[in-house]
Structure 1
Amino acid sequence: MRLKTGEGQVRKSRAQRKGTLVGSLLLAGWMALGVAAPAAAQPGRDCPEYFFNATDGNDFFAGLTDRHFTQGLRISFVERGTGTDDPGWAERVRQDCASSHLPGRAGMGVLRFLTNSTRRAGQATLGRWFDFNTDTVSVILGHNIYTPEDLSKTGLISRDQPYAGWLYVGFGFFNENKDREVLGEKVDILDSVEIDLGVVGPASGGERVQREWHELIDDEDPKGWDNQLHNEFALLISYDRKYRHRLVEENGIRPAVDWIPGGGFALGNVFTYVSAGGIMRVGYNLPADYGPPRIRPGTQGSDFFDTGGHHRKKLMAYLYTGVEGRAIAQNIFLDGNTFRTSHAVNKRYLVGDWQFGGALAYDCVRLAYTIVYRSQEFKGEFEPDIFGSVTLSVRF
């Protein structure tokens, strides 16, 4: 349908104002990182490192479709320290690693309160029960949107994915062991635990986010959100383990090759599954990370990386490909609400991902891009989904 001239001008004006607002928020975020950076720049090996990660997963980046998993945003703040089990560690960091700038002190104070609270909870549970090191922890904010393929229909599309949004906050714990001997080989092992708490349904804001975004880019208005899943508390507990094997060592211009197999599981009313897979990488300075972060469900990389600084290479670059298979018992975005009758489809119990992409990092910045082909997730879906994700990581 064509817009009248006046209506088109109003829509354009709204888009410009929203674009200006988004740009202002992004600029403010970068300024905040710039102000906070001096807090981590103080000398001393006891000062923690901080990482900011923003991952945007969207079918726009690859398939140019607008269906099923259509958009996901994951933002994480990571604190990576040493000797955090020392009772005086937090006070020593506060005294020795504080910024000289008042805004920087205030910003880092809030961040450290969140990470210290997360670490204490991890020490009281994972540390006590499983001897899990909690030197590296993260605080996460995420939002996912799911829709059927046809956005023009107002009625229920019974054989396609339900409309749904998922808003959550998460808390992550990482336990890294380097040069461990496994079956006669020395490998690096990364264990990660993540606990996500949030809401699925109208309270997640999925409808508003998609409608306003489509208005901003002058795309089709999604008309079926009245059929979305009902409000439901959302819990997800996930665990992953990865083994980083060195296959070919880097030598001059010859790139290195490594293989990172792994597996894990997820429990909760959002997802319940077991997974196994791995990625193979070719490039330079591969020990700097374990692959880029991803939005669940999917092969997870690491929210931190080791480039720059004393005795560390500043450049990391690699291409990678990998697969993951999942046996799924629960997927709320296909099975529908747990405690109320809602739209649901017949899910497939075995789902696979094939992914490929690359990452480039220099000093304190990492940029990664991934494309994912996902096999059919429910009966009546006739072709795989394809979507991409972009991750920007900053160490400060």
Structure 2
Amino acid sequence: MSVGHKMYTAEDIEEDNPPEDDRPYAGWAYLSSSLIVESGWRQSIADVSVGVVGPTAQGHEVQRAVHDQIDASPEPQGWDYQLHDEVGVVGRYTDRYRARLVFGSGRGVNWGLDIIPGWTLWAGNVYTAAEAELIVRFGANLPDDYGGPIFHPVTNPESFFRPNRGGWYVYARGVRRLVAHNIFLDGNTVRDSRETEKERYVNQLYAGIAFHGPRMRVSATYSMPEHEFVAQQENDPYWAMQASWAF
């Protein structure tokens, strides 16, 4: 189980009335539940997220509270044009397959290379899409899981990992998505709202490094997304840090 909160804004948060072809303002608060099944070479994940999109998600209030704590930070505007309240549901199913090459060992270190292809289907009024992915990682004492932290468009990242003895690895992940529906670009399902023309096909690259021990993993990931909508002026690359502990 996990809880999440996301905010979406136009490029210039100081505009009272953002351009109509920019990303609509929206908040998204949700609860997720996941089921993970693994064999020696295959991982299957089914999860569902349920929450609310719109003012009830408190996107405006959260953004304003954060900006109030930062000196010289602009006051967020444009929230008068956010998406309306709507119950949001999105389900996801993922399959991944792992092939491992072991290069040898010495002094307690096993060097290995993992190649992990996979596919995902999303369905719901929040997000409907299909994606193909390829994960490659190389390192010392690779754990028996399926790559580093996996980040998703509208829900929490996957943080599950298999504890083992200490080691590290570098990894890269490439994703190709076909997007049928994205409420944060297409607008509300029933009520009229701001919307913009989305890109049907979206590519995204990730690269990072992870260190793991018997019960923990610490990672840093750099994300390089492509444009998600036609009028988007710039990509938004970012770094993400994650620390996980297995109980």
Give your verdict on TM over 0.5: yes
- 1:316 and 1:254 map into 2 onto residues whose CA distance is 9
- The aligned amino acid for 1:144 is K
- Deviations along 1:63-116, one digit per CA (max 9) or x if unpaired, are xxxxxxxxxxxxxxxxxxxxxxxxxxxxxxxxxxxxxxxxxxxxxxxxxxxxxx
TM score, norm. by length of structure 1: 0.59
Q: Is the aligned partner of 1:206 residue 2:62?
A: no
Indicate the residue corresponding to 1:18 in structure 2. Answer: none
Going from structure 1 to structure 2, the CA distance change for 1:294 and 1:216 (only over 3 Å counts) comes to farther
What's the offset of the Cα at 1:242?
0.7
- 1:217 and 1:225 map into 2 onto residues whose CA distance is 19
TM score, norm. by length of structure 2: 0.93
- 1:321 and 1:394 map into 2 onto residues whose CA distance is 22
- RMSD over aligned CA atoms reads 1.9
Indicate the residue corresponding to 1:286 in structure 2. Answer: 142
Going from structure 1 to structure 2, the CA distance change for 1:324 and 1:298 (only over 3 Å counts) comes to farther
Indicate the residue corresponding to 1:266 in structure 2. Answer: 122
Indicate the residue corresponding to 1:194 in structure 2. Answer: 47
Choose between structure 1 and 2: higher strand proportion: 2
What's the offset of the Cα at 1:389?
1.9
- The aligned amino acid for 1:385 is D
Based on CA coordinates, which of the two structures has the bigger radius of gyration?
1
What's the offset of the Cα at 1:288?
3.6
CA contact (8 A) 2:93 2:120 kept: yes
Aligned residues: 244
- 2:83 and 2:102 map into 1 onto residues whose CA distance is 49
CA contact (8 A) 1:242 1:261 kept: yes
Choose between structure 1 and 2: higher helix proportion: 1
CA contact (8 A) 1:291 1:301 kept: no
What's the offset of the Cα at 1:294?
3.5
- 1:330 and 1:299 map into 2 onto residues whose CA distance is 15
Runs in 1 of length 4+ with deviation above 6 angstroms?
298-301
Indicate the residue corresponding to 2:91 in structure 1. Answer: 237
Q: Is the aligned partner of 1:246 residue 2:94?
A: no
SS at match of 1:209: helix
What's the offset of the Cα at 1:254?
6.5
SS at match of 1:290: coil
Q: Is the aligned partner of 1:303 residue 2:139?
A: no
Structure 1 unaligned runs (5+)?
Answer: 1-138, 179-187, 308-312
Going from structure 1 to structure 2, the CA distance change for 1:383 and 1:247 (only over 3 Å counts) comes to farther
Indicate the residue corresponding to 1:217 in structure 2. Answer: 70
**1:30-179 superposed matches below 5 A:** 139-178=1-40
- The aligned amino acid for 1:306 is R
SS at match of 1:155: coil
% identical aligned pairs: 37
Indicate the residue corresponding to 1:389 in structure 2. Answer: 240
Going from structure 1 to structure 2, the CA distance change for 1:366 and 1:335 (only over 3 Å counts) comes to same
What's the offset of the Cα at 1:301?
7.6
- The aligned amino acid for 2:102 is V
Indicate the residue corresponding to 1:323 in structure 2. Answer: 174
SS at match of 1:214: helix
- The aligned amino acid for 2:206 is Q
CA contact (8 A) 2:86 2:188 kept: yes
Going from structure 1 to structure 2, the CA distance change for 1:262 and 1:351 (only over 3 Å counts) comes to same
Indicate the residue corresponding to 1:371 in structure 2. Answer: 222
What's the offset of the Cα at 1:364?
1.6
Among 211, 222, 228, the residue aligned to 1:360 = 211
- The aligned amino acid for 1:286 is L
SS at match of 1:287: coil
What's the offset of the Cα at 1:214?
1.1
Going from structure 1 to structure 2, the CA distance change for 1:170 and 1:250 (only over 3 Å counts) comes to farther
What's the offset of the Cα at 1:274?
0.4
- Deviations along 1:212-266, one digit per CA (max 9) or x if unpaired, are 1111122222111111111000000001111111033452257311111100110
SS at match of 2:143: helix
